[in-house]
Homo-oligomer: A and B are copies of this chain.
């Protein structure tokens, strides 16, 4: 049984609207799925171009910022295939807009990973379901020091701090423990989140973790915002991605003194309070600071 290799291209396309980070997904037989297409060795000169063309075809969207995320290739990650399926996954950022093709829709990321959103305090499901579930799992498979350490570090148990960037570690731990079930459309209550096709939820987890890390040292957050924005809009997007509330005054101080933005003089009056100045991203910061990012005051660094 000499199997051939098929190379798939997947995109985790992220946008933030109404203070919710969202991912563009299509409907498939296996459930909610990321835009996908196989690499065509003849047509696609590069992997990224192949990805862009598949996304265009399936969602009508022309991608802007794109970066490679990870390549998944375990044999058992998808069942029932005759070929060996490898998937190269990309992260794309953009502003949400209506998508021409009807079956492509923007879904809130935290529907799939509800334990990652701490903006309204610690999600109750962590103490109610996930932590007990992990404990049960450890009883079942053996309470090794290594497993205890992983649980503590990933979920901030036993005095460890919560680290927003460990999204993937948390997902993989829950997966191992059988607390998130994939490939079964209606599996899991609200606690363990909505599932996706195949291992697409793992891809979303990878993307969120990477994005949370990256906004701190590269100005990628501006890919998610219009050309002009108020500082509160910027903060809301940062909070949506970080999944945590930030200290307002200090956030402003950081982005302004850090030279990331510059005022335009124009005012936004639809704020519901005092009008806010509109700002724009300051390109020159790239030449001035080695690692310009937004900084997340109020988070454990």
Contacts and interface: CB of A to CB of B under 8 A. Distances in A.
Contacts of A165: 290-291
Contacts of A71: 47, 68, 71, 88
Given A4-B41, A70-B68, A163 B47 contact: no
A282 interface: no
A10 to B, nearest CB: 12
A75 B46 contact: yes
Number of identical protomers: 2
Nearest to A77: B46
Interface stretch (A15-23, A52-60, A154-162, A221-229): A154-162
A208 to B, nearest CB: 16
A288 B160 contact: yes
A79 interface: no
Between A4, A74, A158, the greatest number of chain B beta carbons within 10 A of the residue's beta carbon is seen for A74
20 contacts: A3-B41, A3-B42, A5-B6, A5-B7, A5-B39, A41-B75, A41-B83, A44-B75, A45-B74, A45-B75, A45-B76, A47-B71, A47-B74, A68-B70, A68-B71, A149-B286, A152-B287, A153-B287, A160-B288, A161-B289
Given A44-B75, A158-B287, 14 more contacts: A2-B41, A3-B42, A4-B41, A5-B39, A5-B41, A7-B7, A7-B86, A47-B73, A71-B71, A73-B88, A160-B288, A161-B288, A161-B290, A290-B301
